[in-house]
Amino acid sequence: MLICRYTMAYKKQKSLQAIEDFYYQKGLRGDKLRKATQNDREYMEILKKRWLKLTKNFPVKPQDRKRYILSTDRDYEILGKIYNLERKKLSGKDKILVKLVRTQLEHHWRTPILKFLNKLLKKYPSGSGKK
């Protein structure tokens, strides 16, 4: 019994990605995946610990905290660079690129990419390409 308690007490905690992968393998996508992870107690505990640790060093705007999961250190690194770029005087094209990069932090990152690509395709109708 002592061995069992010891191993349970020191059981390695799953990563956020491992938990997301578990639900993804069950076929959950989009809102269903987000809801499943938000209802997973272990996931939310890990996320809260990570968030507390990272937000001490890196303040995140409240609207971004709601919009993005920010489950990895790289997500915070990306968001930090986005904030840095947004403080600069960017060209119109660079602003669009930064906006597109922001979408990569969303759960539904494919939707904004498809919208962006559809808009681009409308700009260049078929038959107008170089040969």
Is 91 strand, coil or helix? coil
CB 36 within 8 A of CB 23: yes
Q: Token pair of 116, please?
A: 């962006």
pLDDT in the model for residue 129 = 57
Using pLDDT thresholds of 50, 70 and 90, give the confidence band for residue 130.
low
Q: 42 vs 15, 95, 112, 120, CA distance in Å? A: 9, 37, 29, 41
The answer to whether residue 5 scores a pLDDT higher than 70 is: no
Per-residue pLDDT tens over the stretch 17-67: 889 999 999 999 888 998 999 999 999 998 888 778 777 777 888 898 888
CB 31 within 8 A of CB 9: no
pTM for this predicted structure: 0.56
**In the Cβ-directed half-sphere of 79, how many Cα atoms lie within 13 Å?**
23
Is 26 strand, coil or helix? coil
**In the Cβ-directed half-sphere of 102, how many Cα atoms lie within 13 Å?**
16
